[in-house]
Structure 1
Amino acid sequence: MSIKDIKAKDVMVKNPISIPPSEQVAAADLLMTRNSIGGLPVIDLEGNFIGEISLRDIMLSRFNISVGGMKVEDIMKKHAVAVSPDTSLKEVLEKMIEKRLRRIAVVEDNKLVGLIVHKEILKEIYNRIK
């Protein structure tokens, strides 16, 4: 299989850590910090992908208001970019570059099935060329 044949499902992290929109922003911050990740997919009670929240979102919101009692849904990106498991790596990269993303959700039938992080793409390409 060449690099041109790589699909989103080949480089995604399965069962990524996620958070519900009703969770406190402070809990999202702690979850990201403890797991050394920069963002989380936000899913509803049925597992539908509804957005994402990042450490950057939290930092920017702190400049405007106190995030103490805020919920994830108050500051999450509601129209986050997502791809399907069969999306080509080329298309994934184009979206990530165009939108300046470090991660992109992989969604099937509105359900979160994975997360692509730029580091995983680099690992996959490296493993195929070594």
Structure 2
Amino acid sequence: MLKAKDIMKTNVLAVAADADIYRAIRIMVENNVTGLPVVDENRMLVGIVTEKDVLRLLYEIEDRPGAVEDFMTRSVVAYGQEDAVTAIAEGLAAHHFRRVPILSDGTLVGIISRKDIVKHIKQQWLTQSASA
């Protein structure tokens, strides 16, 4: 059984809840990602902030920038590093998420995106095609 730890990215960009929201937006844009896990000082997951979460800034731009915690989603669907990739794929499809954090005892250790799973499927297909 393929597990999350087998395909997750471990070099995960994250942001603190008290970080400036425009800093988080800059990180997303500069790194071409659509969301960031929000962690505390121990890398414990406390939320996630996505492009969708900050869309309301278009109408609320003020002199006061605001913190990530003012925009983030607090109830986050996450998976453990031992969870089956098939379960993660089903969760991504069911909830229309683009990515999910991967945890070990509540600590952020990785992330899996839909693109990561699609790449794995492609690699499996290429391997099977080459051996046929």
Structure 1 residue 62 corresponds to structure 2 residue 75: no
Q: Which residue in 1 is equivalent to 2:95? A: 99
Please report how far the alpha carbon of residue 63 of structure 1 lies from its aligned counterpart in structure 2 after TM superposition: 4.8
In structure 1, runs of 5+ residues without a counterpart are: none
Q: Which residue in 1 is equivalent to 2:40? A: 44
Root-mean-square deviation over aligned CA pairs: 1.3
Using the size of structure 2 for normalisation, the TM-score is: 0.89
Q: Which residue in 1 is equivalent to 2:19? A: 23
Please report how far the alpha carbon of residue 64 of structure 1 lies from its aligned counterpart in structure 2 after TM superposition: 5.1
In structure 2, runs of 5+ residues without a counterpart are: 127-132
Q: Which residue in 1 is equivalent to 2:3? A: 7
Q: In the comparison of the two structures, how many residue pairs are matched? A: 125
Q: Per the alignment, in what secondary structure is the counterpart of residue 56 of structure 1?
A: helix
For residues 41 and 104 of structure 1, what CA distance do their matches in structure 2 show? 9
Q: Which residue in 1 is equivalent to 2:124? A: 128
Q: Which residue in 2 is equivalent to 1:88? A: 84
Please report how far the alpha carbon of residue 66 of structure 1 lies from its aligned counterpart in structure 2 after TM superposition: 2.7
Task: In structure 1, give the amino acid aligned to 2:60.
Answer: I
Point out 4+ residue stretches in structure 1 off by more than 4 angstroms: none
Percent of pairs with identical residues: 27
Using the size of structure 1 for normalisation, the TM-score is: 0.91
Equivalent of 1:76 in 66, 72, 76: 72
For residues 58 and 23 of structure 2, what CA distance do their matches in structure 1 show? 18
